[in-house]
Structure 1
């Protein structure tokens, strides 16, 4: 929703979801359930305004507590008790209780005992002292799940590590949409409307940041707003950013301020990272000293550095580096560093600045200092434009760099890095072919000037084209990277060979890449090695290498790279037939992707979850996850995610006996050419299409697809392909020939490692034997299939196998008794256990990445299957399950 959302109190923009979360907290408090809601965001994004609005709207008593300027031990707790206590003496007594055995929870409870409903709004938790934060966390954890009429609404910096609180929810503020920013601009100029070009430039430079936009507009005169006088260049200058971020910077200790300024100078002068955020990074040694500090012959103390990382002002990167995720913060720190603080010496500014004692030495990438074009070591035009480009890398209006004159004034290196940022933003959450074009342009501009970045840009352009299903664009991105050497050259040449169906060449080159994965700990290179393993059909190696890449990304705190690593690992597990692992990885990947704004990755994870749900026979989950994947895949051109989602829907339809509907859905996916499915998935979908088409009577189409699939399976690029090809031939054969092809399929399955596909073949074989009036022969394959489906939690397929087995007159197993967990799908079992622990439908939905409506649908099914009436009975059901499982465990 765009524009303003308000009924009373402070006016907010694009905050409908956040206000809904606050309303849920308020309703819980008035009902006696209490609760904790965290609100995170960058300075100026409206955390304080949201707290003000919540306090204004709360029907009971609301208290607002800001972080004190002094950060000594227990200083924030003192401020809290001063706000809650009727007298100073009562506040001092509460502090003594909080510091003693009573704890903060008891101290707060005593102060608000006379109130029926209390909302405590705590602002800037990241600026609270460690003692107070620890006491608060202990109080929240102690009161979690107990009846309480006290609610806590807590704001913190975006990257501050929040405490683990049972039942707590978190909302993350972000930049405004174009419509929301326009509504804010209109309200900021009620008397003098900003002229068209003026407004566009203000919105562009502010990059959707409400605080920056507000501060910028307030500094302009009416003639400037109407266009009668020119705007400053840039309109969002250093003074604006210091105004927005200065309060946060001013609260820091002097040593931390100096270190932050030093990192800003070096980080924004280094090369733009290609891990997915577009933020710069400054190398930090094991002693905690920054590159800039070591260049001056001093060591930066580790304690201020760790404090800045802990407070979320800096974030760790790969290779022992730190950097800024928020480019505006980096520019504000740079501007503040050039302004002398009373407490300490100045930090060097850019070359040419009379206050700068000496240049910092050669650039990190070896380029000539005269060509440095990042913020802090560039000419003024470059510094302004690159800073604006980095700001737009957060995802708002990433399609424009700035005024044409500013663009023409940039050096090729600066333009290349700005294009790299633009491409990364589109790759994360925009049309992927737009990302492809921007990244190719970045690679050309960076060629010969920043070879490593040029290589990364080309590979990222290939990833964008791959997600978009464009083979020609993939080949274009892989061609022309002469700076690439070693295993990266093998990867590029091998992938090009695979895309042009030169499979022997592809296998030779990509096998070297897979075998060479031990030569690097760089998670980006490991991800490429895992992708190479998938292309040559080695799913086990792909899962192993991608798991290693994930471990390295976590160890190096590569937050922006984590969603991509989880995406690749989930897909590798899916291809290997390990559906439970794929689902767990995809759920984690979905959460990290959404929290970092990588919505294209989130769409792919939804598609993986839809496929897993189709295996489990969970129709509502298939529809929900596939719908979410397609909602993003359509406008962003994510052909790979769309193909996976449609495949999941068809598999679900086939499992429910809707063969004609499934076949109609799969026809476009197996069709070659630009209007078909994804080029890397087309053959994988064929066995499902053949099964659906045969059942629907579309035998001619099924036969043509099976013939093409047989030729592809003979190439040996997919482990289960030979087995599935034999299954297709069995489904199409007549007379007694299917028996031979089913046995051939089972023989090939035994060496392919995908137990689920083997079970599907056994189910089809057993069903054919039963229809041939050979029930005794059918029972063996059907029992084997049933056991495999049950182990894989594929309840829908297991139910089909049980039905076929009963039709032969054999025992089909089934539930162990009334209310046994086997009567429910795995998703329903997870929901039951969460609800039994007291989770609401919304909390279950957040935990499992579903909608509350889907959770409600599952619960109704659970009640019907278990013969119970309400969720109150679920704890007893779960206790019965656990009790029944204990003897077996012993």
Structure 2
């Protein structure tokens, strides 16, 4: 999807099209029409910014401007993700005749000429009006390019106009002379005229007055309220609902805004709404009262400042309130129930439920029937909706099922924990585990082990979870196998996790459990990724993506896209990184999938680091390695640190790198990630000075030997070899660089391999392959000693002094080495030996 909401047109091709009726917006419309007239006449362009809340008409005003403009006009919506340049791509796509033209335009936009030159090439010599919707949701790169374009003088700028919309709280950095149109509530008569157009039948007088009172001049609320009524209700022949602008109406208008918030932000907004007052008014509340209620509800308070900064809440002194009373009511409609659970409905689900009501059969039956209904709803949200909605619904289902169906209740709790895990919400994970203490056997071990791991009691976690891996890992039940595989991942045993999840997949296939296949493939792909088996992870993720799309499991698809993005960052496929990361984020952000968001952002940063954009990569990774609600996923935070340290050091930010490395040292000492000790040593090497890096690089290489994941070992060797070369020790650098090159080639990582090859060339090494190991093994012990020293960069005179020989004798031995290995000079010797000894640098192979 490109994000294009309206096609471009020219007057010659399509004419202006039908008008869009507006009521009570004369002044606002005049500002846009004035800009359009100036642009059409070539008399000067400019920028008009349209601001407003949900449903107040921003998109409608932009659509009308496009319809009536007599030249080239384009309406472009915010892309579904914020990957770099995605907004510029959407704009170019709206204007370009082909994908090739889009690519050419983007190359120009990213270069010195800038976005203005790219657009001028797409609409040469013609007046053009660009209408960009929801600019606050565009990526930072595209917004910066637009700001630069708006500052450019020249003839093309005078034939170009911009109408951009943004949320009311967002400031558009337009040029001098930018005019702002602020949309607000309609007057009573304008609202009455709009109501008359909206209604399919003329509304009865009392009905019209009630709708106008309820909407209070809000055009979006008025339109949604009309859509929720039947013709009989509008005409007065059937009774109206108690609240004609109730939860379902507000969910339709504000659901997009609420759904775009982080999970913790949405939950905290609901807490503030509850404390500020019921459905009848906004009394305001003290900050202290809100914080107390948040603690009771186990909702993090960290998002509060962000909600105020975004204009969703108003803070005056020590009081909090809502800028928009309809937003408060919408947030209140989705709050947790007074009993401490939640109904588990997303705003859209609440809208449907409010219209239809719960089935009479469910109301008439007992707790188990209601629990199973909530279980089904929770499973649907877990597969393709906001995961914290799933968590709340599944927890409530477990409570209702506990007495009559304990096995189903247990499954509901485990699924609620899985939802909270995907959201990165540790307190919610613990809440799901708390109610299952009565379980026995490996189920109890799993509960106790996870609880211990989440509260950082890792010795207890190992004892319990190891039993789960051993016992459930030998099962033939896919559900138990998935549980055992998850336990292995928590323990850091990626090989066991991949093996057990592979068995779960095989059993799910054998039993034709179609709905379970995407989940099994998701777990297996992640385990293979953690193990460093990138090609296998990619193959599994692609199959999992197809299975998820066939079964409508969008959240699983987001995770698979994130895995594919990380694999692409290894294979150095920049386009695939952006594509898959963008698709993952488009689903993961609104659904609160913190784990998939972290993986996708990590992939984008690795791609940027590979292209030499260290500053950009460090800025992207910095939030991911910090704790807190705006940080990365708790189970991935430490895994991202080595990449952040590399980027931060390259970007000249050593203080931040040291801080992260200090936290990582604690993590590495816990023994839950086999790669961590080696990667910690690599971080120390990158931060060390003088000759100290040699010690830490050597330590890192030694620790990699028994840890698996050859790709990470090769990255350490590349960093070591690069450091040696820059220290003017080319002979010593060649061994680790050649070892890294071979590993990257085997891992199908061409970008990394080319970097290793370039470093090798810089040392003076040839591209020839290593000599026959048999020939190397036939060297005499003295020849082997001399060869090792030559490969380390020593001169004949230095070797002679060290071994107690004459320089002539050393030269004689070297000539014999050259003849036996089929080479001509000492420059070719390290490549011919083709082996790296982490304890002593380059060395010959032994038989």
TM-score by length of 1: 0.48
* Aligned-partner Cα distance in 2 for 1:190–1:393: 26
The change in CA–CA distance for 1:196 and 1:651 in structure 2 (over 3 A counts) is farther
* Aligned-partner Cα distance in 2 for 1:746–1:642: 31
RMSD: 3.6
Instruction: Report how far residue 403 of structure 1 moved.
Output: 2.2
Residues 136-178 of structure 1, C-alpha deviation per residue, up to 9 Å, x if partnerless? xxxxxxxxxxxxxxxxxxxxxxxxxxxxxxxxxxxxxxxxxxx
Aligned equivalent of 2:585, options 620, 625, 630:
630
The change in CA–CA distance for 1:390 and 1:760 in structure 2 (over 3 A counts) is closer
Which residue number in structure 1 is paired with residue 412 of structure 2?
457
Residues 563-621 of structure 1, C-alpha deviation per residue, up to 9 Å, x if partnerless? 11110000000000000000000001111111111101101100000000000000010
Residues 609-661 of structure 1, C-alpha deviation per residue, up to 9 Å, x if partnerless? 00000000000100110111111111111100000000001111111111111
Residues 677-723 of structure 1, C-alpha deviation per residue, up to 9 Å, x if partnerless? 00000000000011111111111110111111111101110011110
Q: How many residues align?
A: 459
Instruction: Report how far residue 410 of structure 1 moved.
Output: 3.8
The change in CA–CA distance for 1:759 and 1:519 in structure 2 (over 3 A counts) is closer
- The answer to whether the 8 A contact 2:203-2:236 is kept is no
* Aligned-partner Cα distance in 1 for 2:476–2:359: 43
The change in CA–CA distance for 1:777 and 1:621 in structure 2 (over 3 A counts) is same
The change in CA–CA distance for 1:629 and 1:755 in structure 2 (over 3 A counts) is same
Which residue number in structure 1 is paired with residue 751 of structure 2?
796
Aligned equivalent of 2:378, options 423, 427, 452:
423
- The answer to whether the 8 A contact 2:207-2:234 is kept is no
Which residue number in structure 2 is paired with residue 808 of structure 1?
763
Counterpart mapping for 1:234-313 below 5 A: none
- The answer to whether the 8 A contact 2:465-2:488 is kept is yes
Instruction: Report how far residue 483 of structure 1 moved.
Output: 4.5
Q: Partner of 2:632: helix, strand, or coil? A: coil
Q: Partner of 1:433: helix, strand, or coil? A: helix
* Aligned-partner Cα distance in 2 for 1:399–1:630: 28
Residues 6-50 of structure 1, C-alpha deviation per residue, up to 9 Å, x if partnerless? xxxxxxxxxxxxxxxxxxxxxxxxxxxxxxxxxxxxxxxxxxxxx
Which residue number in structure 2 is paired with residue 702 of structure 1?
657
Counterpart mapping for 1:579-590 below 5 A: 579-590=534-545
Q: Which runs of 5+ in 1 are unaligned?
A: 6-188, 198-216, 232-388, 815-890
* Aligned-partner Cα distance in 2 for 1:645–1:404: 38
- The answer to whether the 8 A contact 1:393-1:424 is kept is no
Which residue number in structure 2 is paired with residue 403 of structure 1?
357
Aligned equivalent of 1:228, options 237, 240, 250:
237
Which residue number in structure 2 is paired with residue 664 of structure 1?
619
The change in CA–CA distance for 1:788 and 1:518 in structure 2 (over 3 A counts) is same
* Aligned-partner Cα distance in 2 for 1:399–1:431: 17
* Aligned-partner Cα distance in 1 for 2:437–2:697: 49
- The answer to whether the 8 A contact 1:614-1:648 is kept is yes
Aligned equivalent of 2:401, options 434, 446, 452:
446
Which residue number in structure 1 is paired with residue 443 of structure 2?
488
* Aligned-partner Cα distance in 2 for 1:674–1:693: 22
Which residue number in structure 1 is paired with residue 637 of structure 2?
682
* Aligned-partner Cα distance in 2 for 1:461–1:395: 18
* Aligned-partner Cα distance in 2 for 1:393–1:451: 30
Report which of the two structures shows the higher radius of gyration computed on alpha carbons: 2
Aligned equivalent of 2:726, options 756, 763, 771:
771
Q: Which runs of 5+ in 2 are unaligned?
A: 7-198, 209-226, 241-342, 770-847
- The answer to whether the 8 A contact 1:802-1:813 is kept is no
- The answer to whether the 8 A contact 1:570-1:583 is kept is yes
- The answer to whether the 8 A contact 1:413-1:445 is kept is yes
* Aligned-partner Cα distance in 2 for 1:685–1:221: 54
The change in CA–CA distance for 1:800 and 1:552 in structure 2 (over 3 A counts) is same
- The answer to whether the 8 A contact 2:395-2:432 is kept is yes
* Aligned-partner Cα distance in 2 for 1:760–1:545: 28
- The answer to whether the 8 A contact 1:393-1:422 is kept is no
Aligned equivalent of 1:556, options 499, 508, 511:
511
* Aligned-partner Cα distance in 2 for 1:710–1:632: 34
The change in CA–CA distance for 1:193 and 1:425 in structure 2 (over 3 A counts) is farther
* Aligned-partner Cα distance in 2 for 1:585–1:735: 45
Instruction: Report how far residue 227 of structure 1 moved.
Output: 7.2
Q: Partner of 2:631: helix, strand, or coil? A: coil
* Aligned-partner Cα distance in 2 for 1:768–1:598: 46
Q: Partner of 2:685: helix, strand, or coil? A: helix
* Aligned-partner Cα distance in 1 for 2:650–2:761: 21
- The answer to whether the 8 A contact 2:422-2:593 is kept is yes
* Aligned-partner Cα distance in 1 for 2:504–2:568: 26
Instruction: Report how far residue 556 of structure 1 moved.
Output: 1.1
TM-score by length of 2: 0.51
* Aligned-partner Cα distance in 2 for 1:558–1:396: 30
Counterpart mapping for 1:738-753 below 5 A: 738-753=693-708
Aligned equivalent of 2:714, options 759, 766, 788:
759
* Aligned-partner Cα distance in 1 for 2:600–2:708: 24
Aligned equivalent of 1:640, options 595, 598, 602:
595
- The answer to whether the 8 A contact 2:509-2:517 is kept is yes
- The answer to whether the 8 A contact 2:472-2:483 is kept is no
Instruction: Report how far residue 400 of structure 1 moved.
Output: 5.8
Q: State yes or no: 1:785 paired with 2:715.
A: no
